[in-house]
Amino acid sequence: MDLHIIKIASDNKNQKILKKYTHEIKNKNSICGDEISIKLLINNKIIKDIGYDCKSCVFCQASVNLLSKKIINMNCNNVIDLCNDAIDFYKSRDNNFTKKLSFLKIIFTEDNYSRKECLLLPFETLKKGLKSDYGKN
């Protein structure tokens, strides 16, 4: 196992109980059983705070950790676009990172392709929760 992924997963500042939130999204990976719960505090379409809880593998934990740090103070529509870009990245398998996705380079690797469902679960979960209120696709 890559020690970088373990280090990222263990830096879990946003793995917390958010008592004041506007959105709660839960999702489960049907392939491996990973479960994730994300709570968001959104004000004027801007994500002001995030808390998450995972019962998941280290790949999912690393992914949600990086994502949670990235989306604070982002517009919800931009977060949906970011989630779509991450999901499309693994569909295309072209390994070309846009500037927007560069924060994922360390975990979105060819070596981790077999764990793509685990890596993408936080993005799928966030997209699912935001799309109904803010989504355009």
The residue type of 18 is L
Averaged in consecutive runs of 10 residues, what is the pLDDT profile of the chain (137 residues)? 84 90 95 95 97 95 96 96 92 77 91 92 95 71
pLDDT at 92: 79
- Residue 40 neighbours by CB under 8 Å, 6+ apart: 18, 21, 22, 23, 24, 25, 47, 49, 50, 129
- Please choose, from the candidates 119, 29, 130, the residue with its C-alpha nearest in 3D space to the C-alpha of residue 65: 119
Buried b / exposed e over 74-111, threshold 16 CB at 10 Å, is: eebeebbbbbeebeebeeeeeeeeeeebeebeebbeee
